[in-house]
Structure 1
Amino acid sequence: MSEPRPLTAEDHMTEKPAHAPADHPALPRPKIGVLIANLGTPDGYDYWPMRRYLNEFLSDKRVIDYPSWKWQPLLQAIILTKRPFSSGKAYQSIWNEEKGESPLMTITRDQTDALRAELEKTYGAEVLVDFCMRYGNPSTKSKVQEMVDAGCQKILFFPLYPHYAGATSATANDQFFRALMDQPWQPAARTVAPYFDNPAYIDALAQSVERAYADLPNAPEKLIVSYHGMPKRYLMQGDPYHCQCQKNTRLLRERLGWSDAQIGTTFQSVFGPEEWLRPYTVEEVARLAREEGIKRIAVIAPAFSADCIETLEEINEEIRESFEHAGGQEFTYIPCLNDEPAHIAMLADVVRENLRGWIS
């Protein structure tokens, strides 16, 4: 993948508005920005970068909604003294040492490059495409500022989460709107809705399953569709995430032409003492091996647009180990869509749809 196109002198070219007085400041030529966002990544896997990242992440009220007086002492005094070591070890096992960054950073940059190239076919240089992270760097605030400085009077903000959840899409949008609060001249803003039921998205997922199965000597007996979990309480409070995940699996099953027995929905990444959405992936894969005698499974994670710690380490290491220790023999992890051409084409179509009325 080529390096991202840097902003050029033309991007920052300024001109005075027509009929403006001589002392009127020159302004950048008007443009439209497309800012894609992902969860985030630590700057390194050592203790302090991990602590800074985890502190920002776990202090987000959208993620952990306990009262601050109750949660912060526990977070600062206990969790952040221990968890950076265990999380850092997990990140180290998947770290892109060549580029000095996490796989999520590498893949998100590649996705941005590919999306930029695709949109340039339609809009030329009128649309600037970049990415930010909700937690860590590059921050949402810094990227909004760069776009405003380059003349973006309209910004389409695109959280790369197929499903809506308060702890993902909503908090990313919150951070985007906070960044706009600092702008003397706010650009017009739009956010992209969830796309979990977009036919092109479902087709891209199905194609990835079909490719993976075609490469295996023996087809898996069951496909586990593992989504990031959340406390069950959030569902009871009205968060639509659980329902959207269930529909995602159903649409994928229908596209593949499979029976209910060939596919199942689970949830991973449980954190804290309260009950989360069930069944838990790590427990379900072990149960399938132990109680149903299933020897071959595949796991796919549609809630993630890019491979990250939850897929490369949690699924492909911890969950694989759970299955194999329970008697499972063949475990296949099907990678996220990442910068697959079908995925990028679908994302570009979503952007074009959301830019209607702003640009032809």
Structure 2
Amino acid sequence: MFDTNVPASCPAHAPKDHPKIPEAKVGILISNLGTPDNTDYWSMRRYLGQFLSDRRVIDYSPWIWQPLLQLIILSKRPFTSGAAYRSIWNEEADESPLMTITKQQHAAITETMTARYGDSVMVDYCMRYGNPSTKSKVRAMIAAGCTKILFVPLYPHYAGATSATANDEFFRVLMSEKWQPATRTIAPYFEHPLYIEALAQSVERAYAAADKKPDILVCSYHGVPERYLREGDPYHCQCQKTTRLLKDRLGWGDTAITTTFQSKFGPEEWLKPYTVKEVARLAEEDGKTNIAVIAPAFSSDCIETLEEINEEIKESFEEGGGEHFTYIPCLNDDAAHIAALSAVIEDNLKGWLD
């Protein structure tokens, strides 16, 4: 059904009694990971249940995984995860920081795209898990007359557990549409010059503001099981290249920057070195007691950066003898980041809008 609140007209060359339809637009739908609606037990359980039931995230046999998830993990974890979210919750807006930042990114991208393309585009945002759902936003775009949709997962690097599952959900929604719009998805943008430039500028600002220059910059990426690399997932290689490109842009030597991986979950081995252990080792064994940490794989600050890095990983570093810990925020709605995302979007709109 079309949205009756948007401008509509009879198609050219159609009979006069043809139903009016909305003017054709191009939709730009940015997608982030997701967030619980609140920090209470049931909100957390719904969110975690959806997230941890995704076979792209946890690919163990459902016959083994689902009883463990439903009977044990989802009985306990909502309490600990709720406490972690409460420690970073945006109380004023009553939402998670990821939601606040995604709204800010959406507003900035909308302003840029509207200035570039006028009323020809409609920009919106959705979440892979939680609200607003991908389904609700795709249907709203179709109802508003979007005959083409560019889907933009906010992940610089490709991974099955991030970009691929966001795309999966987008395609699942389209399967139920009678009249599907033409669609495109963006490629990973981890090596885009403007993305690297935005990262470099954020590092330079942080180092310029520091009382003492950090001994090393730790690039902490969200981890995945090592098995995924052997099975063909390119994520590990793309992360390593991001660190190298950032190092080259900053003009640094190899010893000034390193790559680590965080957020290990479950019994199997994940990509190494683990950030939580490596920061302690840097202090204990290498004597690097003044470090900075950046999270290039995250487009928005979230539970993994504000709570895990700034609390758990910082604590591990200090217990290892570390003295000065600097967390460099995600790019969020920084102007250079919005410029990079806008350039990626414009590249992918070519042929549709020029």
Query: Over residues 139-189 of structure 1, what are the superposed CA-to-partner deviations in whole Å (9 max), with x where a residue is unaligned?
Result: 000000010011000000000000000000000000001111111110000
TM-score normalised to structure 1 length: 0.96
Structure 1, unpaired ranges of 5+: 1-7
- The aligned amino acid for 1:235 is L
Answering whether residue 33 of structure 2 is matched by residue 39 of structure 1, we say: yes
Which runs of structure 1 show a deviation greater than 6 angstroms over 4 or more consecutive aligned residues? none
**Alignment partner of 1:74: what SS?**
helix
Answering whether residue 10 of structure 2 is matched by residue 12 of structure 1, we say: no
Inter-partner Cα distance in structure 1 for 2:214 and 2:278:
15
Answering whether residue 173 of structure 2 is matched by residue 179 of structure 1, we say: yes
- Note the C-alpha offset of 1:22: 4.2
- Note the C-alpha offset of 1:18: 2.3
Inter-partner Cα distance in structure 2 for 1:22 and 1:346:
45
The residue aligned with 1:149 is 143
Query: Over residues 36-74 of structure 1, what are the superposed CA-to-partner deviations in whole Å (9 max), with x where a residue is unaligned?
Result: 001000000110000000000000000000011010000
Inter-partner Cα distance in structure 2 for 1:251 and 1:18:
51
Match of 1:163 among 157, 165, 187: 157
Inter-partner Cα distance in structure 2 for 1:158 and 1:237:
25
- Note the C-alpha offset of 1:19: 3.0
Answering whether residue 286 of structure 2 is matched by residue 292 of structure 1, we say: yes
Inter-partner Cα distance in structure 1 for 2:342 and 2:115:
10
Match of 2:241 among 238, 247, 254: 247
**Alignment partner of 1:36: what SS?**
strand
The residue aligned with 1:5 is none
**Alignment partner of 2:322: what SS?**
coil
- The aligned amino acid for 2:55 is K
Percent identity, aligned pairs only? 69
Inter-partner Cα distance in structure 2 for 1:339 and 1:175:
25
The residue aligned with 2:230 is 236
Aligned residue runs from structure 1 range 1-360, under 5 A: 12-360=6-354
Query: Over residues 175-225 of structure 1, what are the superposed CA-to-partner deviations in whole Å (9 max), with x where a residue is unaligned?
Result: 001111111110000000000000110011000000000001100000000
Inter-partner Cα distance in structure 2 for 1:117 and 1:111:
10
- The aligned amino acid for 1:184 is K
Inter-partner Cα distance in structure 2 for 1:238 and 1:16:
50
Inter-partner Cα distance in structure 1 for 2:119 and 2:210:
43
Inter-partner Cα distance in structure 2 for 1:17 and 1:292:
70
Inter-partner Cα distance in structure 2 for 1:33 and 1:144:
9
- The aligned amino acid for 1:292 is D
Structure 2, unpaired ranges of 5+: none
TM-score normalised to structure 2 length: 0.98
**Alignment partner of 2:12: what SS?**
coil
**Alignment partner of 2:297: what SS?**
coil
Query: Over residues 298-356 of structure 1, what are the superposed CA-to-partner deviations in whole Å (9 max), with x where a residue is unaligned?
Result: 00000000000000000001100000111100000000000000110111111111000
Inter-partner Cα distance in structure 2 for 1:214 and 1:125:
41
- The aligned amino acid for 1:137 is N
The residue aligned with 1:3 is none
Inter-partner Cα distance in structure 2 for 1:321 and 1:183:
49
- The total of aligned residue pairs comes to 352
Inter-partner Cα distance in structure 1 for 2:51 and 2:302:
15
- Note the C-alpha offset of 1:119: 1.1
Inter-partner Cα distance in structure 2 for 1:290 and 1:19:
76
Inter-partner Cα distance in structure 2 for 1:18 and 1:271:
56
- Note the C-alpha offset of 1:17: 1.3
Inter-partner Cα distance in structure 2 for 1:256 and 1:55:
41
- The aligned amino acid for 1:298 is A
